[in-house]
Amino acid sequence: MTSILKTNTIQDLSSTVLLETNGSGTITTNNIGGQNTPAFSAYLSADQSSVSAGSYTKVNLNAEDFDTDSAFDSSSNYRFTVPSGKGGKYLITGAVEFNDFNGGSYSTKDLYSAVLYKNGSLAKMNTIHIAAAVNGTGVSLCAILDLSASDYIELYALADVGAGTGKINGGDQTTWLMGNKLIGA
């Protein structure tokens, strides 16, 4: 026996719309935790120069692909802040591309790190050790973080290469930070 239920709206007892369809297969969910939002994708639109070796440097992610809740500040603080009522577990990913440290002469002693800061403190870090001389290198990381309203996430870079300065590559979306709230976690 086959049963078919046809409807365009499902509401709770207080008439709050939980699910809605447009009749063409598109379903909109409301207030049921079915959306992975807030979600954002930000990137560095141009090279960030004069980055000091051996220092944690905040990446100035000044451009956005999208930001569902207007929670990423790409103009001054360069960080994602969890909106009120949107706490939970978040999947956060990022990448940093380094270049021109040690005058572009990379050595096998160089260490490069992409770092996530939560509320101003180191939360997660991924480091690579250069095994051969190269001209530029990238590091990515991925983490699931438990975040509450007003918590903020920032991307930092660390080039542990002795002394001098270099740059973080931008403009071609090789340096970025993105994230979204997880449902069901």
Measured CA to CA, the distance from residue 39 to residue 19 in angstroms comes to: 20
Asked if 86 and 67 touch (Cβ cutoff 8 Å), the reply is no
The structure tokens 């991924």 sit at 126
Measured CA to CA, the distance from residue 9 to residue 145 in angstroms comes to: 34
Residue range 9-65, pLDDT digits in tens: 878 888 877 778 887 777 777 666 567 899 999 999 999 999 999 999 999 999 999
User: What is the CB neighbour count within 10 angstroms for residue 1?
Assistant: 2
User: What is the CB neighbour count within 10 angstroms for residue 10?
Assistant: 15
Measured CA to CA, the distance from residue 182 to residue 90 in angstroms comes to: 5
Residue range 31-40, pLDDT digits in tens: 665 678 999 9
Asked if 94 and 121 touch (Cβ cutoff 8 Å), the reply is no
Measured CA to CA, the distance from residue 185 to residue 182 in angstroms comes to: 6
Q: Is the pLDDT of residue 5 over 90?
A: no
Percentage of the chain exceeding pLDDT 90: 60
User: What is the CB neighbour count within 10 angstroms for residue 152?
Assistant: 17
Residue range 139-163, pLDDT digits in tens: 999 999 999 999 999 999 999 887 7
Tell me what pLDDT residue 17 has. 77
Measured CA to CA, the distance from residue 147 to residue 177 in angstroms comes to: 16
Tell me what pLDDT residue 87 has. 95
Residue range 61-104, pLDDT digits in tens: 999 999 999 999 999 999 999 999 999 999 999 999 998 876 65
Q: What are phi and psi of 32, to 5 degrees?
A: -125, 10
Asked if 125 and 157 touch (Cβ cutoff 8 Å), the reply is no
